[in-house]
Amino acid sequence: MRIDVVTIFPGYLAPLRESLLGRAADAGLIEVALHDLRSWTHDVHQTVDDAPYGGGPGMVMRPQVWGEALDAVIASDSRPPRLVVPAPAGRSFTQATARAYATEQRLVFACGRYEGIDQRVVDHYSRQFPVDEVSIGDYVLVGGEAAVLVIVEAVARLLPGVLGNPRSAAEDSFSDGLLEGPAYTRPEVWRGQAVPEVLRSGNHGAIARWRRDRALERTAKRRPDLLAALPEDRLDAADQAF
Ligand SMILES: N#Cc1ccccc1Cn1ccc2ccc(-c3cc(N)[nH]n3)cc21
């Protein structure tokens, strides 16, 4: 997978070269290219923003510089892109979105700042490529860079060969529609708290049932919306208690 990120703060995306993603890049599983939006300005001040039409607070990012940047970046690789624009007003980025993005040959991220990017940029590219405006949560960030770090990590970990243990991605939270339950490791007792006995029983059926119950319990308590959204056939008779 090829990932391009256009931003006025390329340094903010340096973590993409670290750890899991760094190893994935070294292994050729992911190719990451960072592009400084200001490279496509033509004035001495490298201006990327202007006052909003209709008035209001803050500044809006100018369409001209984004158009030149995205034309150049998209043309720099033959793989057809999905353009992803983080925005507080975007559709929610979920595990399902991550799974869908993991099947893409190429993702191009446009990181806005200020009050966002002139809407005509999204409208223009939506006529040529799939374009998603995505939110990573119901809170407002200062720009799109942090959202890109979140999205790229959630997507990259689903790519074959990136995670040491592929079962992790298959079994983690949200994969079966539920939050995952509590996890434990040694020591058996820590500050007077013992590991639940069933987990040390070796009875795999009982362990699976216990884990399912804890996941259902946690989901019912913390995210009843997820439980309500589960298709009927995903809950068996033993699950009906939740
Ligand atoms: N746009 C906008 C905007 C609108 C109002 C106030 C502040 C901003 C700042 N901003 C500029 C770019 C940008 C990108 C993504 C987010 C973002 C995503 C999530 N999930 N929260 N915030 C915010 C972003």
**Rounded distance between C-alpha atoms, residue 194 and residue 189, angstroms:** 4
* pLDDT at position 233: 85
Instruction: Say what the pTM is.
Output: 0.93
Query: What are residue 91's phi and psi, to 5 degrees?
Result: -70, 150
Q: How far is the CA of 121 from the centre of ligand 1 (A)?
A: 16
- Does pLDDT of 214 surpass 70? yes
* pLDDT at position 4: 97
Q: How far is the CA of 4 from the centre of ligand 1 (A)?
A: 19
- Does pLDDT of 58 surpass 90? yes
- Give pLDDT tens digits for 126-147: 999 999 999 999 999 999 999 9
Q: Strands 82-92, 60-61: parallel, antiparallel or unpaired by DSSP?
A: unpaired
- Does pLDDT of 73 surpass 90? yes
Q: Which of 18, 26, 71, 115 is catalytic?
A: 115
Kindly provide the residue ranges of all beta strands, DSSP E only, lying in the chain, ordered along the sequence: 2-7, 31-36, 49-50, 60-61, 82-92, 106-110, 131-135, 189-190, 193-194
State the ipTM, two decimals: 0.97
* pLDDT at position 93: 98
Name the residue with higher pLDDT: 232 or 5.
5
* pLDDT at position 237: 80
**To the nearest whole number, what is the mean pLDDT of the chain?**
94
* pLDDT at position 112: 98
Name residues whose C-beta falls within 8 Å of residue 79's C-beta, 6 or more positions apart in sequence.
2, 105, 106
CA distances from 232 to 77, 211, 225, 240 (A): 44, 20, 14, 10
| 88 given a catalytic annotation | yes
Query: What are residue 3's phi and psi, to 5 degrees?
Result: -125, 125
* Ligand 1 interacting residues, C-beta cut-off 6 A: 86-88, 112-113, 115-116, 135-137, 139-144, 147
| DSSP percent split of the chain into helix, strand, coil, nearest 5 | 45, 15, 40
Top mutation candidate among 5, 9, 140 for ligand 1, by most atoms within 8 Å of CB: 140
| 157 given a catalytic annotation | yes
* pLDDT at position 170: 62
| 191 given a catalytic annotation | no
* pLDDT at position 173: 61
For atom 10 of ligand 1, which residue has the closest CA?
143
Structure tokens at 135: 């939110």
- Give pLDDT tens digits for 147-205: 999 999 999 999 998 887 766 666 566 668 899 999 999 999 999 999 999 999 999 99
Residue 172, sorted as left (phi over 0), alpha (psi -120 to 50) or beta, turns out to be beta
Question: Kindly report the CA angle at 151 between 118 and 59, in degrees rounded to 5?
Answer: 25
Indicate which atom in ligand 1 lies nearest the CA of residue 93: 20
- Does pLDDT of 210 surpass 70? yes
Task: For each of the domains in the chain, give its residue range(s) and CATH number, in order of start.
Answer: 2-165 (3.40.1280.10), 173-241 (1.10.1270.20)
CA distances from 206 to 9, 135, 178 (A): 51, 39, 19
Q: Which of 36, 172, 176, 213 is catalytic?
A: 172
Name residues whose C-beta falls within 8 Å of residue 139's C-beta, 6 or more positions apart in sequence.
88
Q: How far is the CA of 22 from the centre of ligand 1 (A)?
A: 27
Q: How far is the CA of 90 from the centre of ligand 1 (A)?
A: 9
- Give pLDDT tens digits for 84-135: 999 999 999 999 999 999 999 999 999 999 999 999 999 999 999 999 999 9
